[in-house]
Structure 1
Amino acid sequence: MAVFVALGAFLMTLAGGWTAQRVTDRRHLVLGLAGGLMLGVVGLDLLPEALDAAGEEIFGVPAALLLFVAGFLVAHLVERLLAVRQAAHGGGEHKDRGRTPEVGLTAAAAMVGHSAMDGVAIGAAFQVGGSMGAAVAVAVIAHDFADGFNTYTITTLYGNARRKAVAMLVADAAAPVVGAASTLLFTIPAHLLGGYLGFFGGALLYLAAAEILPEAHHEHPARSTLLCTLAGVSFIWLVVGIAE
């Protein structure tokens, strides 16, 4: 049952990526929406789940929050190291934009890993009971639209070719199915799952706050871009509220 439900996440992820491809003439709106979706996923979905699953404290601070900060710093460090390496080799075709394609691929790969964990969450929830599985499935399938949208947008934002973006999108779409199938063989301890969600949330927040949103407002500091960001956050809030 869990694998069958995960197929809904597969289709929803592809729908999100398809939408991102079709609005290239409104790139600033796409980025504004993507930033809002990412912010909503982190603040309203990933971080609360991480705190619930990994509730133990380390020197007075929840472990999930420490990993959240670590994820933010690691994302910043990776981007800086890649930028330095690019500068040392002359910058290439993306020198003027200051974007390194590797960052986009790394971020997309992180999205794939997150989607695989979404599938694991569906499978684990169905092991608890049908109602729990249905609730988790609704949340996962709804926000996988945002995952597909963000995976394609992030990959192309950093200068990667469309074929690479499509490949990462397909991988992201297949990941929940693989994750759900894996729960037929084993389960992941809750505290490890919570730690992963915290770390991934920090990395995702860095990309949204330091890269996606500034890029969205760079050439088009329009009210419509801000409204798209607010719409993205509101959509995730709605999804979380329905799931609860």
Structure 2
Amino acid sequence: MMAAPLLIAAGATATTLLGGWVAQHVGDRRHLVLGLTAGLMLGIVGFDLLPEALETNETEKFGVPVPLLLFIAGFLVLHVTERCVAIHRAHEEEYGPHSHPFSAPHHHHGHASRDVRAQGLGIAAAGALVGHSFLDGFAIGAAAQAGGTTGTVVAIAVISHDFADGFNTFTITQLYGNDRRKALALVVADAAAPIAGASVTLAFTISEHILSIFLGFFAGFLLYLATSDILPEAHSPHPTRATLLFTIAGVAFMWLVIGLAS
């Protein structure tokens, strides 16, 4: 039983590496995978994490349930973090001219200092994704302690969206001018992070009260990732009906999974 979180985290590691591999060999169907991933995450937030958090903690602050306050906090923390380290891939002109990962070695646009700054932004952004994957692993361990359907659905959430993490870690690192070697190193770090996070939770038992707070916070975290990162990325290159249908299918699948497990 103690090994279960580590096994699930190993699944997240595998999908992270898969995402990094797909980023190097991407075809024309990535948007469908990302659309499905976002749907799975939305279903998990609405059908399991928030209901579970509210059921186990009925404490209110100024008329608002504490888990909902943490839900909003989780959303805002990730939003503020992304704004500070520029996780979202910005248009290149917003950061000034910089070298490209596949451009000729002699072509520097005449702005070496901006190149270095852009590369640093890429590494910082990918590093933030590594930190977020560590929290994913922690969430796996915490949800395993919660028992019931929570452990299952959090596992699905983490394993599915870590594919997008692996993909984004590689592409963001290279987008800002870093070479392939650095991008691959960060993908490996991102893949190892869930196991590290899950291992931490094996050292202690999380109380039901703290767990409900964490589930609320993690729900806000997931909602932000689904709506602000994954869905825009899924629709930007391919604003197709198929992507939307895959998102709806992901939500419906989680409704089915949770309904059958209840």
Band of TM-score, shorter chain: 0.7 to 0.9
Contact (CA 8 Å) 2:164, 2:230: kept in 1 or not? no
More helix per residue: 1 or 2? Answer: 1
Match of 1:208 among 226, 232, 239: 226
Write out aligned runs for 1:90-169 (5 A): 90=96, 102-123=124-145, 125=147, 137-156=151-170, 158-159=172-173, 161-169=183-191
The one-letter code matched in structure 1 to 2:172 is Y
CA offset digits 1:3-50 (Å, max 9, x no partner): 233343134324433553447212222322232222223222322222
Q: CA deviation at 1:155?
A: 2.8
Residue 86 of structure 2 aligns to a residue whose secondary structure is: helix
Q: Is the 8 A contact 1:16 1:146 kept in 2?
A: yes
When the two structures are superposed, what TM-score results if normalisation uses the length of structure 1? 0.75
Correspondence for 1:62 among 65, 84, 87: 65
In the TM superposition, what is the alpha-carbon distance from 1:142 to its structure 2 partner?
4.1
Residue 26 of structure 2: aligned partner? 24
Q: Tell me which of 20, 24, 44 is aligned to 1:41.
A: 44
Q: CA RMSD in A?
A: 3.4
Is residue 74 from structure 1 mapped to residue 47 from structure 2 by the alignment?
Answer: no
Quote how far apart the aligned CAs of 1:140 are.
Answer: 4.7
Structure 1 residues 157 and 208: CA distance shift in structure 2, 3 A: farther
1:59 shift after superposition: 0.6
CA distances 1:58-112 after superposition (whole Å, capped 9, x unpaired): 111111111111222222222222239x9997585699x9x85534532442342
Aligned partner of 1:172 among 194, 219, 230: 194
- The match for 1:10 is 9
Higher CA-based Rg: 2
Q: Is the 8 A contact 2:17 2:191 kept in 1?
A: no
1:117 shift after superposition: 3.1
Q: How far apart, in 1, do the equivalents of 2:46 and 2:9 lie? A: 24
What CA distance in whole angstroms lies between the structure 2 residues aligned with 1:157 and 1:205? 22
Greater shift, 211-220 or 152-161, is seen at 152-161
Residue pair 2:140, 2:154 contacting (<8 A) in 1 also? yes
Structure 1: unaligned runs, 5 residues or longer = 126-131
Q: Partner letter of residue 13 of structure 1?
A: A
TM-score (norm 2): 0.71
Evaluate the alpha carbon distance shift between residue 146 and residue 198 of structure 1 in structure 2; reply closer, same or farther with a 3 A threshold.
Answer: same
1:232 aligned residue: 250
SS in 2 for 1:24: coil
**Helix, strand or coil for the counterpart of 1:221?**
coil
